[in-house]
Amino acid sequence: MVKTLESIQNIYKLSDVAIESLKSEVKLKSLKKGNLLFSPQSRHLYISFIEKGLIRAYAFNEGKEITFWFGLEGDIVFPYRTYLKHEISYETAELLEDCILYQIPLLRFQELFLQNIEWATWGRKFAENQMVDLEQKFIAYQFKSASQRHEELLISKPELFNRIQLQYLASYLGMSQVSLSRIRAGIQ
């Protein structure tokens, strides 16, 4: 549980007691590449902490898959819509590699927030971080070129480039595979 705990503590430092309250609730789950963690056809009722592996989230727009998120070791994945509104999610989360996950039921995780001020603070900090990330991504798509977005991703998450298929990377960056290939080759 090393990556999971490191990620949790990076968001907000929790006491050993608070950490133990989570450890006693999570279940280890190993899933194979290609499995879907959740999709619009199913209700997913778990928060998943990625200990090992890679997951992508995508949705369809006019019949085309649009990748909008990649989850690596230490990341947390769950359908926000299900968590916040108790509705089926609009996105699909697909495993791009074999994954080891620690899972806790959504409702139990919410109970931790109600029972423990440390977890409540952690949840607030997590939400704040997600809002900043979302704002940065929005600004990048509004004001930066495809080449600039590629460069920023290469600097911020270089490990993605060796682990993700070109088509998913291009979709995430909002460009065609041809454009991404040209950028990578230095051709304008």
CATH number at residue 31: 2.60.120.10
Contact criterion met (CB below 8 Å) for 55 and 99: yes
Look at residue 64 and tell me if it is in a domain: yes
Cite the DSSP H helix spans in 30-158.
80-85, 106-115, 117-143, 146-156
* Average pLDDT of the segment spanning 99-115: 96
Helix axis angle, 16-23 relative to 2-11, nearest 10°?
Answer: 130
Contact criterion met (CB below 8 Å) for 4 and 23: no
Can you give the pLDDT at residue 187?
Answer: 60
Look at residue 86 and tell me if it is in a domain: yes
* pLDDT tens profile 144-188: 888 888 999 989 889 888 899 999 999 999 899 999 988 888 865
Look at residue 45 and tell me if it is in a domain: yes
Look at residue 52 and tell me if it is in a domain: yes
Look at residue 183 and tell me if it is in a domain: no
Contact criterion met (CB below 8 Å) for 94 and 33: no
Residue 56 has pLDDT above 60, yes or no: yes
**How many angstroms separate the CA atoms of 85 and 100, rounded?**
27
Contact criterion met (CB below 8 Å) for 165 and 172: no
Of 102, 99, 83, 94, residue with least CA distance to 38: 94
Look at residue 139 and tell me if it is in a domain: no
Residue 101 lies in domain? 2-105
Q: How many other CB atoms are there within 10 angstroms of residue 46's CB atom?
A: 24
Look at residue 143 and tell me if it is in a domain: no
Provide the domain count of the chain: 1
Look at residue 124 and tell me if it is in a domain: no
Q: Considering the entire predicted model, what is its pTM?
A: 0.91
Q: In which element (H, E) is residue 61 found?
A: strand 55-61
